[in-house]
Structure 1
Amino acid sequence: MLSFEQKQDIIESFPELTKKEISLNRLNYHFENSLHEKTIVIEKLHPNGNGFVYVGDLLKYEKEANEKGLVNIREYDEQALREIIRDAIDYMSEDMETPIVENWTSREGVLLELVHEKRNWNIYFRNNLEESFGTREAAVEYLFEEGFKPKK
């Protein structure tokens, strides 16, 4: 487990975050350029090493996040902490109005669309949602396993 000071150093290596002291020697870190109402990325970082990162409804963290979209980072190592902070900042920076669309096809000519929208990677067949994934990598792996390739 990383110490409080180690977690602080990692968090403060993200220049887009602003530290704010709160009660009981705890710290919050805000992302002031958030495109959403919420600006707190790291909540209640405590000298005992406990703290939370806001990931909202990112599917990648659905098993770890509580009902408020917070993930406890007490046991996180450096790599995991850096990754979740980057994901949280990206989540709060995301313009959810402009989806990314990729076409995939099978040998039989079946066409699927891989669409990044509202923080998820969704696979559609004729406007019907077939599957939803938290990461592009998971969606692409699924498509390859099912015999699909990117359409050129």
Structure 2
Amino acid sequence: MLTFEQKQAIIETFPELTKKEISLKRVNYHFENSLYEKTIVVEKLHPNGNGFVFVGDLLQYEAEASDKGLVNIRDYDEQALRDIVAAAISYLSEDMEEEPIVESWRSREGVVLELIYENRAWAIYHQDNLEEAFGTREAAVAYLREEGFRPSK
């Protein structure tokens, strides 16, 4: 487990975050350029190593996140901490009105599925029906390949 000081040093490598001291020697890190009202990325980082990162409804953290979209980072290693902070900043800086990314995938039988990145998730559609949704493109592509699909040309 990383110490409080180690976690602070890692978090402070993100220049877009602003440190704000709060009660009981805890600190928050804010992303002032958030496109949303929520600006706290790292919440209540405590000298005992406990703390939380806001991930909202990002699918790749769905299993770990509380109802408020917070993930406890007490036992995170350096790479996991860097990854979750970067994901949180990206989450708060994404404009939900962006054009979706659409890819077509085809099976040997000629069935066509669309892999679409929208609303912060990778969704697989058959016609207008949602088949599956994933938090990362890698997970969605692995699923498609396991099911015998390949990218359409």
Deviation at 1:33, TM superposition (A): 1.1
3-state secondary structure, aligned to 2:57: coil
Letter aligned with residue 12 of structure 1: E
**Corresponding position: 1:127 with 2:131:** no
Which residues in structure 2 correspond to 1:24-39 (within 5 Å)? 24-39=24-39
Return the TM-score normalized by structure 2: 0.97
Query: What is the CA distance between 1:36 and its match in structure 2?
Result: 1.6
Q: State the partner residue of 1:85.
A: 85
- CA–CA distance in structure 2, aligned partners of residues 121 and 94 of structure 1: 15
Cα distance in 2, alignment partners of residues 44 and 10 from structure 1: 16
Q: Does residue 69 of structure 1 match 2:64?
A: no
How far off its partner does 1:22 sit?
0.8
> In the alignment, what sits opposite 1:59?
59
Q: How many aligned residue pairs are there?
A: 152
- Extract structure 1 runs of 4+ deviating beyond 3 A: none
* TM-score w.r.t. length of structure 1: 0.97
Alpha-carbon distance between aligned partners in 1 of 2:56 and 2:7, rounded to the nearest angstrom: 21
Q: State the alpha-carbon separation in 1 of the partners of residues 96 and 104 from structure 2.
A: 20
- Partners of 1:139 and 1:96 in 2: how far apart? 20
Identity of aligned residues (%): 76
Match of 2:119 in 1: 118
Q: What is the letter of the counterpart of residue 89 of structure 2? A: I
Aligned-residue offset at 1:110: 1.1
Output the CA distance in 1 between the equivalents of 2:102 and 2:39.
Answer: 28
- Cα shift readout 1:43-101 (whole Å, capped 9, x = no counterpart): 00011111000000111111111110000001111011001101111111112222111
SS of equivalent to 2:74: coil
RMSD: 0.8
Write the distance in 2 (CA, Å) between the matches of 1:11 and 1:151.
41
Determine the C-alpha separation between the residues in 2 that align with 1:141 and 1:35: 32
Counterpart of 1:43, as a letter, is: E
